[in-house]
Chain A
């Protein structure tokens, strides 16, 4: 199924069980005069199987929020609920348990892998984490081969290679293979396509959508590209200066934007058959 066809069938997710939600989540860096509020009291509800996009420009706090959602950094204030219950990641064991449920794909595939570890060990880690430690070598290889073929990679060609021997697109696909093995409840994709070319981008997005259907997981897709968000997501959250200025179904938010910021984001997208509206850019520079 192609990317554009996916966008057609947007469903209503409000009745589905909650997967990840936040109440007043805040992150403050620094103290006193140098205080920076990166994320400012945001509330959100992500449902099971939903494809959510968080859209905003650079510095709007998207990545900070994603770090908090992943449990890689602590929220200054507020509460994050995982499957309806307050999230508890107070010690290493609980964190490990939480990470079985939430996984991520990062922006830069070239820095996402440890250059000293072979591809096999990256995939084996996932199998081990899913409790497959005692499986036989053949079973593990079969699982890795299956995961690789899901993302159109050949495991036989990858085994004993290092991640840096692959192209950026291949690395990002390997990341998706990781997710395929992990089968988490939530996938947090932080601009996974911004560092790869347009062809690989469509492939990667398609794979993400397929994977969503296969595992039935929630995808939180962080991007600065509102056009992309419109095509692939069910729900869109627009983020400006650490706050959600608008959210709702993708169609509603993007076709009938209410917030000024959303309108500006939409007008900033270059269009093929019309003259590019740069008026908002002028407004910005005059400020």
Chain B
């Protein structure tokens, strides 16, 4: 036993898979301790906030300012605030005014601003330009001038006695606030989703639920498959015929179709994570049965089984102590594959809207379903679905890697 374990942990494939899987498990266990609370809590009012650190604007104005003169601050500001639309409009005006723009880089804010300051003249009239267009360029110039001016933002509050606005403070462009001294800062590593929920927190909770579904599905499938396979293989005869008939019938019907039909017939509010896991397990035991049966058939005529019979052991005891230990490694591998395919099956079902009910716990499949329903993929909110895809891929990759590693240890013909 100890030897086998050592061998298993010497397989680079198994160790690779194990490390990835353990990392995901650790994240799943530790993150809720650091960041407790309901993963489905809607913290954002708007949808799809980008990933990043969010600083409370209110608290930032109350925090202590520290004036700083940073040389590149103004450039950065211009760079960021001058929208792409404005830049195109500026170039359009240069073109209309007959200025040479062949050397102008639209991304080069400095050159663009210099040229605008040098050349723009509100009085300049282009032939055939509508009044609206002329006014548009005037407004553009206005906003550009505002960007450049060294104005302050005035903070005002209503005086309770007179009801008038009174200046309470000013925020100048050179004022800086230490993020640590702002009371409310929220770090959202993966932004928020369509309901304004923290995607990362949701993802960690979803990993847990999906693993649970996979584990349940794998356990149910392995248990049914193992029991039927052992019975069919060891007892043989009519029992074998009946079990193999049922197994063949289930093998011929595509299990996913069966899965859809069964989940469809269960109403939404009865479809918890456990129910879905159980149903997935109930539809995916056939291959385990078939392969366990064939292994048992090759084992049941071995001498050690005969010796056990001659020693007067009962059928149950022979199956449990003389057959099961010999196929245990195989069963473990089948179980790992079943868990992996259980997680995938849940994701597929939830994408179709037949997964667990949406109000209780998030699952990986449900997160994909939400992202799809609220068109995260078309509005560029990659954080709502891409990490989920990556997690599903990582989980099944690590499980399959472990399975291959185990296979190499237990199957001598695959050893290099």
Chain A interface residues toward B at CB < 8 A = 70, 72, 92, 95-96, 99-100, 103-104, 106-108, 111-117, 122, 125-126, 128-129
A91 to B32, CA, bound (A): 58
Question: Nearest-CB distance from A229 to chain B (Å)?
Answer: 22
Given contacts A92-B314, A117-B321, contact A112 B309 (CB under 8 A): no
Chain B residues whose CB sits within 8 angstroms of the CB of A129 once the complex forms: 311-312
A125 to B307, CA, bound (A): 11
Chain A residue with Cβ nearest B307? A112
Interface-forming stretch among B66-74, B154-162, B298-306, B370-378? B298-306
A96 to B315, CA, bound (A): 12
Contact B311 A114 (CB under 8 A): no
Chain B residue with Cβ nearest A104? B310
Question: Nearest-CB distance from A162 to chain B (Å)?
Answer: 11
- Asked whether any CB of chain A lies closer than 8 Å to the CB of B325, the reply is yes
Question: Nearest-CB distance from A144 to chain B (Å)?
Answer: 14
Chain B residues whose CB sits within 8 angstroms of the CB of A99 once the complex forms: 309-312
Contact A72 B309 (CB under 8 A): yes
Q: Which 3 A-B pairs have the closest CB atoms?
A: A125-B311, A106-B303, A112-B303
- Which of A70, A117, A126 is the one whose CB lies under 8 Å from B306? A70
Contact B321 A116 (CB under 8 A): yes
Chain B residue with Cβ nearest A190? B303
- Which of B302, B303, B307, B315 is the one whose CB lies under 8 Å from A92? B315
Chain A residues whose CB sits within 8 angstroms of the CB of B308 once the complex forms: 114
Given contacts A96-B312, A125-B313, contact A114 B306 (CB under 8 A): no
Contact A111 B315 (CB under 8 A): no
Contact A72 B306 (CB under 8 A): yes
Contact A126 B304 (CB under 8 A): no
Contact B307 A126 (CB under 8 A): no
A129 to B312, CA, bound (A): 7
Given contacts A116-B321, A116-B325, contact A111 B310 (CB under 8 A): no
Question: Nearest-CB distance from A232 to chain B (Å)?
Answer: 22
Chain A residues whose CB sits within 8 angstroms of the CB of B302 once the complex forms: 111
- Asked whether any CB of chain A lies closer than 8 Å to the CB of B202, the reply is no
A104 to B313, CA, bound (A): 15
A100 to B310, CA, bound (A): 8
Chain A: interface secondary structure? Answer: helix
B279-312 contacts to A, CB under 8 A, are: 302-304, 306-312
A119 to B304, CA, bound (A): 13
Contact B312 A125 (CB under 8 A): yes
Question: Nearest-CB distance from A281 to chain B (Å)?
Answer: 31
Chain B residues whose CB sits within 8 angstroms of the CB of A114 once the complex forms: 304, 307-308, 321-322, 325
Chain B interface residues toward A at CB < 8 A = 302-304, 306-315, 321-322, 325
Contact A111 B303 (CB under 8 A): yes
A129 to B314, CA, bound (A): 12
Task: Provide 10 A-B residue pairs closer than 8 Å at the C-beta atoms, listed in order of the A residue.
Answer: A92-B314, A99-B312, A106-B303, A108-B303, A125-B311, A125-B312, A125-B313, A126-B311, A128-B312, A129-B311
Given contacts A92-B315, A125-B312, contact A113 B306 (CB under 8 A): no
A236 to B311, CA, bound (A): 28
Chain B residues whose CB sits within 8 angstroms of the CB of A104 once the complex forms: 306-307, 310
- Which of B304, B310, B312, B314 is the one whose CB lies under 8 Å from A70? B310
Contact B304 A111 (CB under 8 A): yes
A82 to B308, CA, bound (A): 22
Chain A residues whose CB sits within 8 angstroms of the CB of B313 once the complex forms: 125
A115 to B328, CA, bound (A): 13
Question: Nearest-CB distance from A194 to chain B (Å)?
Answer: 13
Chain B residue with Cβ nearest A109? B303
Chain B residue with Cβ nearest A112? B303
Between B312, B313, B315, the greatest number of chain A beta carbons within 10 A of the residue's beta carbon is seen for B312
A126 to B310, CA, bound (A): 9
Question: Nearest-CB distance from B290 to chain A (Å)?
Answer: 23
Chain A residue with Cβ nearest B311? A125
Question: Nearest-CB distance from A57 to chain B (Å)?
Answer: 21
A92 to B314, CA, bound (A): 8
Chain A residue with Cβ nearest B322? A114
A99 to B311, CA, bound (A): 8
Question: Nearest-CB distance from B193 to chain A (Å)?
Answer: 51
Chain B residue with Cβ nearest A126? B311
A201 to B45, CA, bound (A): 87
Question: Nearest-CB distance from B3 to chain A (Å)?
Answer: 12
Question: Nearest-CB distance from A174 to chain B (Å)?
Answer: 11
Chain B residue with Cβ nearest A108? B303
A114 to B306, CA, bound (A): 10
Chain A residue with Cβ nearest B324? A116
A70 to B309, CA, bound (A): 10
Question: Nearest-CB distance from B321 to chain A (Å)?
Answer: 7
Given contacts A99-B312, A129-B312, contact A106 B321 (CB under 8 A): no
Chain A residues whose CB sits within 8 angstroms of the CB of B304 once the complex forms: 111-115
Question: Nearest-CB distance from B296 to chain A (Å)?
Answer: 15
Chain B residues whose CB sits within 8 angstroms of the CB of A100 once the complex forms: 312
Question: Nearest-CB distance from B295 to chain A (Å)?
Answer: 16
A157 to B302, CA, bound (A): 28
Between B303, B310, B312, B313, the greatest number of chain A beta carbons within 10 A of the residue's beta carbon is seen for B310
Chain B residues whose CB sits within 8 angstroms of the CB of A92 once the complex forms: 314-315
Chain A residues whose CB sits within 8 angstroms of the CB of B310 once the complex forms: 70, 99, 103-104
Chain A residues whose CB sits within 8 angstroms of the CB of B321 once the complex forms: 114, 116-117
A129 to B313, CA, bound (A): 9
Chain B residue with Cβ nearest A96? B312
Question: Nearest-CB distance from A101 to chain B (Å)?
Answer: 11
Chain B residues whose CB sits within 8 angstroms of the CB of A125 once the complex forms: 311-313
Question: Nearest-CB distance from B239 to chain A (Å)?
Answer: 15
Chain B residues whose CB sits within 8 angstroms of the CB of A70 once the complex forms: 306, 310
Chain B residues whose CB sits within 8 angstroms of the CB of A107 once the complex forms: 303
Chain B residues whose CB sits within 8 angstroms of the CB of A117 once the complex forms: 321
Contact B314 A113 (CB under 8 A): no
A125 to B304, CA, bound (A): 13
Question: Nearest-CB distance from A222 to chain B (Å)?
Answer: 14
Question: Nearest-CB distance from A94 to chain B (Å)?
Answer: 12
Chain B residues whose CB sits within 8 angstroms of the CB of A122 once the complex forms: 311
Question: Nearest-CB distance from A127 to chain B (Å)?
Answer: 11
Chain B residues whose CB sits within 8 angstroms of the CB of A96 once the complex forms: 312
A221 to B348, CA, bound (A): 63
Question: Nearest-CB distance from A134 to chain B (Å)?
Answer: 16
